[in-house]
Amino acid sequence: MKLTKLILLLCLLPFYASAEALTDRQRINQVMDSFYQWDHTGGTHNAENSLAHTVRYNRLDEGGKHIAYSIDFNYEGKGKNAYQYFIAGLDIYGKMAVVRSIHYHAGKGSYLKTFILHKLTQGWRITNVSWGKITPEE
């Protein structure tokens, strides 16, 4: 009887590990949904559900100068139709994840945003955002 339980446990272990990874992926997608709602329409609730309080944004200006800044959780958003986005990649590394997202702004072109997320005590949160315009290689 003990041997049967042990074999059953060993057979189910890979499915448990796979289900946990799927759960993290689903939670990260929920965080990203909250982020995009916040970025389009604002609202501190969406910010609280997606961003760490210490989140940092990084980008280059048109002259190539690095700009780093914090954001305001009371941000009112860019507007519902400010840009279209799609997630190009999501990789999970234990308690850290990387999300790559393409944003298309009509009349402005496309931008790549790379999000670093960490699994904090309150769940998955975005801790760093780096972004820049997608331009042809020189």
* pLDDT at position 53: 94
Using only C-alpha atoms, the chain has a radius of gyration, in whole angstroms, of: 19
Distance between CA atoms of residues 11 and 73, nearest Å:
46
pLDDT tens, position by position, 50-102 = 999 999 999 988 888 999 999 888 888 888 888 899 999 999 999 999 999 99
Confirm whether 80 is domain-assigned. yes
Contact, 67 vs 129, CB < 8 A? no
CATH number at residue 33: 3.10.450.50
Count of domains forming the chain: 1
Confirm whether 138 is domain-assigned. no
More confident residue, 78 or 11: 78
Average pLDDT over the chain, rounded to an integer:
85
State which residues form the domain around 78: 2-133
